Amino acid sequence: MRARNILDPSFEARLTPALLPYAFLFLVAATGLAGLAVIVGAFTLAWWLGLIALAAVPVAVAGIVAVIRIFCELVLALALMSDDTKAMAAGLSRVESTVDGVASDMPRLGFLRLTPGSRRPTA
């Protein structure tokens, strides 16, 4: 990853997969520091409030980190979806030739074909 890729207005280089781990680590560190600040602030107000914060804040921080992780994985999946779609589209030509080959080898089912004088069944 080069610094000029960040400012590239054509968006040719994909930076999301490269920058997402750093953004995740930054958000996790910020969440941990915020949780620590809440615990220290609660202890400065009252000792019993600090004890409650000491029990509740780590659980809340763990939940927030889990939500951040899920969000980052969704962003990464969306960023890589274009590449996966291109790979699937490349494989469709092989599937098309296979289906055409199977269809040409199958015998015609004459009883399903309508003759000129026959009527279509009504429902």
Parse the chain into domains and list their residue ranges: 21-81
Each residue's pLDDT expressed in tens, for the chain with a length of 123 residues: 566 777 777 767 777 888 899 999 999 999 999 999 999 999 999 999 999 999 999 999 999 999 999 999 999 888 888 888 888 887 777 777 777 777 677 766 666 665 565 555 555
pLDDT at position 24 is 95
Q: Classify the C-alpha dihedral 9-12-13-19 as positive or negative.
A: positive
Residue 10 per-residue DSSP state: T
Distance, CA of 6 to CA of 74 (rounded, Å) = 21
pLDDT at position 114 is 57
Q: What is the pLDDT of residues 12-26, one digit of tens each?
A: 777 788 889 999 999
pLDDT at position 2 is 67
